[in-house]
Amino acid sequence: MIINFEVMSETKLEKPIVLYVDDERNNLMEFKESFGADYEVLLAVSPDEAMEILKTITPHVIISDHRMPFMTGIEMFEKIKQKYPEPLRVLLTGYGDVQVLTDAINKGQVYRYIKKPWIEDEIRNVVMDAFANTQTRVALEVRNRELEEAYKELDRFVYSVSHDLRSPLMGIMALAGFLQKSQNLEEVNEYGELIVKNINRLDEFITNLLEYYKVKRGELTISSLSFEDLFKEIFEMYEAEMLDNNIRFEMDVKQHEDFRGDKLILLVALQNFFSNSIKYQKLENRNKFIKLSAHVLRGEAVVVIEDNGIGIDKEFQHRIFEMFYRASSQAVGSGIGLYNAKLALSKLGGEVELESAAGVGTLFTIKIPSK
């Protein structure tokens, strides 16, 4: 499963795409000659032909003659509007059609009209206006999607705060109560240990949130990076935990060229994958391992994080990068780790591929371009 991180940005439209419909071939040719250099011009000699074109291309503007045999321009627009509401519709018409035209505009079938015979500047103004209108609409749609995503995140955040911050706190409170009453040293030690565990959970949650904001809002700081050094740094961070859990560490780096990237952001991503490989080991396994490898070639680093842990069930694999999503109760995590890793990778223009089988292990392959 390959996950590409699409960076939401305002869509850049280059040339306006204009579909011109007219039953007179001379007019079609003239239109193409006048505007072919500035617009991507599509021509249709009948409404049927226009409908055919619309099956594959969505123009920004459709300009149509009103008086055509079998179907008028307005009738055609009415039909188009049902199926393809996006392109703005501009009607070319003579003086006699004013009443029909007023109705059509009032009913929203037509965006603008231009009197025949058309003047080049008039067409240019209308197309420019329609094009700007489309761009604003597209930008608004992108913003709306971003806003919807932000709302969803906020919902999940509120849920998670109530659960992940409150439950360790409630635990600490209850344990403190027991501590106050206990006279037994063994019990006191046990409660003390549980309190420390709960505090660590709180700390992890807060660290993850801070990491999230650092990655989301921070600017990139680019420098030359050595994957060998990065991997050593990560290993040292977790060395004690790995010894404690009897996990073997393997490393394989092939880097014969310079790689440029943001060290902190890359570390956020790698650390989150790595710490999961520790957390989700099979506890009873006597041969636990984690392998980090990197291959830098032609301006791209391919990094693999592999473990022989509990693996991830197929049905959860597509959700593990969601904020606050957890697929296992083996470890108490915040469910933000992989979300942050994903965010960090998207900042670096990277992508990640996941291979995992429940009970066998997990392998993440990350591809990151050098900056």
Name the residues that contact ligand ADP, by CB under 6 A. Answer: 272, 276-277, 279-280, 307, 309-312, 320, 325-328, 333-339, 362
DSSP code of residue 13: P
Nearest to 305 by CA among 331, 341, 346, 265: 341
User: Strand, helix or coil at 262?
Assistant: strand
Nearer to ligand ADP, 301 or 338 (CB): 338
CB of 243 to ligand ADP, least distance (A): 19
Return d(Cα 295, Cα 302) in angstroms, integer: 5
Nearer to ligand ADP, 222 or 360 (CB): 360
Nearer to ligand ADP, 35 or 339 (CB): 339
Token representation of residue 7: 């960076």
Other Cβ atoms within 10 Å of 191 Cβ, number: 20
Alpha-carbon torsion (364, 212, 280, 159), positive or negative: negative
CB of 340 to ligand ADP, least distance (A): 8
Q: Which residues of 115-153 are buried (b: 16+ CB within 10 A; e: fewer)?
A: ebebeeeebeebbeebbeebbeebeeeeeeeeeeeeeee
| CA-based R_g, the chain, Å | 31
Return the residue nearest ligand ADP (CB atom). 333
CB 359 within 8 A of CB 310: yes
Nearer to ligand ADP, 17 or 310 (CB): 310
CB of 266 to ligand ADP, least distance (A): 17
Nearer to ligand ADP, 61 or 305 (CB): 305
CB of 338 to ligand ADP, least distance (A): 3
Nearer to ligand ADP, 73 or 309 (CB): 309
CB of 362 to ligand ADP, least distance (A): 4
Nearer to ligand ADP, 72 or 160 (CB): 160
CB of 229 to ligand ADP, least distance (A): 23
Token representation of residue 11: 């869509």
CB of 341 to ligand ADP, least distance (A): 7
Nearer to ligand ADP, 59 or 309 (CB): 309
Return d(Cα 118, Cα 66) in angstroms, integer: 13
CA of 93: how far to CAs of 34, 87, 108, 339, in Å? Answer: 19, 19, 16, 56
CB of 276 to ligand ADP, least distance (A): 3
CB 267 within 8 A of CB 233: yes
* CA-CA-CA-CA dihedral for 353, 357, 358, 361, to nearest 10: -80
